[in-house]
Structure 1
Amino acid sequence: MRSLTVAAVLLAQISVASAAPVAFSTGWQEQRLSLFSSNDYSFGKTLGLTSEGAVSLAWTRVGQGDWGASGATWDWTVDQSVPATNLAQKGGDDRNISLYFVFVPEAEAPKLQGANIRSLLGNSDVRIIQYAWGGNHAAGQVIASPYGPAGQGVTIALRQAGTGAYREAVDLDADYRKAFGTERGALVGLAVSGDSDDTKSVIRAAIGNLSLN
């Protein structure tokens, strides 16, 4: 019995040690998606987001040591919410906050280490999973992105539009297979966005304690 207990403790320690925290204080850049509007971001212990009838994203590269990450956990809060929308509708898909995971084939990852987010989004080999808090969809529903090349990106609905504070845990391996039907490549980028331009509403949200495992 004692040996089993010790083994369980060691496994737990290994699991905790293998989780790689993602800092929000450095390395993030805003990418505008519109010439006329953008969100306001604050970077520090958490990433704060205010969006007033606007849309943009903040993104960062993932270090080579985390290219093989197969899961992620994070906390997020929404204090002011957009209305529920249809996340499959281009031009009508506002959401409070989304966390993007950007993948490329493992063989291509070294060549794309210096690529910016626009270059990655324009690369036909790139695959994107976006976990969203917003819309009116059932939790876990996989929604084809109405933007970009067909088959490049999906949105996975985690929470419907509304306020609150929650802890999330996702299985990137399983969700990638469900979304694209193949094994995932290297995780090379992360992004956070808020989208309120279609409904001309206001978002106040934040994300923190993001770890890759």
Structure 2
Amino acid sequence: MTSIKFPMTRRAFGLGAAATAGALFSGIGVARAAAVPFDESWEHLTFRRLEPNQFTLGDGQLRVVADGSSSIFYRMLEHSFHGAQRASWTWQVDSSVPPSDLSTIGTDDRNLGLFFVSVDAAGAERVRPGTNIRSLMTNRSARILMYTWGGNTPLGSVVPSPHAPERLRNLITRPAGTGRFTETVDLAADFPKVFGQPLERLVAVAVSSNSENTPARVEATVSGLTVT
């Protein structure tokens, strides 16, 4: 298993801080918090021969149920978000998969993954509402950092996904188990540490859960997603 550990750049902060977010960016690189709402702009990516998860929008949050299932819920970001360099969110897990080996297909179950998708400026210009996240994964410049709740390696470990190890990598943020936490992450610092390449344009976000390999059920929520 390929696993690299470095000091985490995330930090926990009071839940009240998320309530101050909401102002939109006025242009690329402007460091002001902007909410990424859980609304009808999100789309569901499913996989052949796998039961999809249940993703439910409501009350300003995303509810996730994975019961022998796997899929991804994603959203393309408007141009005004492309210069974001930090992110924050609150996530809660009420029912958890056990620790797992995220480096191997067939064992890579996790409670939650928060994806942040970076592409170069030329690729970002081609992103539109309705762009399928599959197309981003074939872009040579694409790098997808997944802050992961699960796995069996220490916090701060980097575990390349066995499905796309060069472009999709897990950064272990919480161990398998239940609880509720609010995270703040420094995307601009984490992308070079995880990929050896800088964060370029932040063009999409996504939420995943996997429980197709173990007899376990994930019940979780994600809320308060903002980028800065």
Q: Report the TM-score, using the length of structure 1 for normalisation.
A: 0.89
Structure of higher CA gyration radius = 1
The code of the aligned residue for 1:124 comes to R
1:177 corresponds to which of 189, 192, 202 = 192
- 2:176 aligned with 1:191, yes or no? no
CA contact (8 A) 1:34 1:55 kept: no
Q: Secondary structure at the match of 1:107?
A: helix
2:9 matched residue in structure 1: none
Q: Secondary structure at the match of 1:108?
A: helix
1:26 corresponds to which of 21, 40, 62 = 40
- Per-residue deviation, 1:29: 0.9
Q: Secondary structure at the match of 1:85?
A: coil
2:7 matched residue in structure 1: none
Q: Deviations over 1:32-66 (max 9, x none)?
A: 02334110111121000011100001000011101
Gaps of 5+ in 1: 1-14
- 2:116 aligned with 1:101, yes or no? yes
Report which of the two has the higher share of helix: 1
Q: Distance in 1 between the 2:127 and 2:36 partners?
A: 20
Map 1:2-13; keep pairs closer than 5 Å: none
1:78 matched residue in structure 2: 93
Q: Distance in 2 between the 1:116 and 1:88 partners?
A: 25
Q: Distance in 2 between the 1:174 and 1:53 partners?
A: 35
The code of the aligned residue for 2:81 comes to D
1:161 matched residue in structure 2: 176
- Per-residue deviation, 1:132: 0.5
- 2:185 aligned with 1:140, yes or no? no
Greater than 6 Å deviation, 4+ residue runs: none
CA contact (8 A) 1:48 1:206 kept: yes
1:11 matched residue in structure 2: none
The code of the aligned residue for 2:178 comes to T
- 2:70 aligned with 1:55, yes or no? yes
- Per-residue deviation, 1:122: 2.3
CA contact (8 A) 2:123 2:139 kept: no
Aligned length: 199
CA contact (8 A) 2:157 2:171 kept: yes
Of 130-139 and 155-164, the range deviating more from structure 2 = 130-139
Q: What is the percentage of aligned positions where both structures have the same residue?
A: 37
1:35 matched residue in structure 2: 49
